[in-house]
Amino acid sequence: MGVDSSNEAEWRIQIVKARRDLVEDNQWRGMLSQAIQQSNTYCNFLLQQSQQSAPSGNDYRSRVQRAQNSEYFENMGRTLRQGLDATMTRMQQHIQEVQVLSPVRAALMYVQGTRIFDRTCDSPGKR
């Protein structure tokens, strides 16, 4: 961003202003909240999927139950992932709009969004 020691004070002022503006940006805060909630839901779903047990028998009922479980997890996983992708797209669009007037604020927004979407689902509730 072209910052060196000669303009560090200006940079610090821009960071403080960008942080203040982010606190006041209700639309952005709502998007962050939604992204965190959707991310947690998706991770909890993946945990549920990894812990589910399907009938092991080869009888008709067991095969039907396995097929139903598989279809449920496939459909639900796709739905939850699409919701996350849509939220991420809205956040990226908002960042691009802000970028025009406040590159520093947009950079902070990018970092916040990246922290949400780049986390892994290793532990329940961690994403």
Per-residue pLDDT of the chain (127 residues; tens, 9 = 90+): 555 666 778 888 989 999 999 999 999 999 999 999 999 999 999 998 888 887 788 899 888 998 999 999 999 999 999 999 999 999 999 999 999 999 999 999 999 999 998 887 865 444 3
Q: Which helix (H) or strand (E) segment is 95 a member of? A: helix 60-101
Please count the CA atoms within 13 angstroms of the CA of 47 that sit on its side-chain side.
14
Would you state the pLDDT for residue 124? 44
Residues in the chain: 127
Would you state the pLDDT for residue 41? 94
Would you state the pLDDT for residue 11? 80
Spatial separation of the C-alpha atoms in residues 38 and 32, rounded to whole Å: 10
Position 66, amino acid: R
Would you state the pLDDT for residue 8? 77
DSSP type of residue 12: H
Would you state the pLDDT for residue 5? 63
Spatial separation of the C-alpha atoms in residues 127 and 5, rounded to whole Å: 37
Position 17, amino acid: K
DSSP type of residue 124: T
Would you state the pLDDT for residue 1? 53
Hey, what are 40's tokens? 């947690």
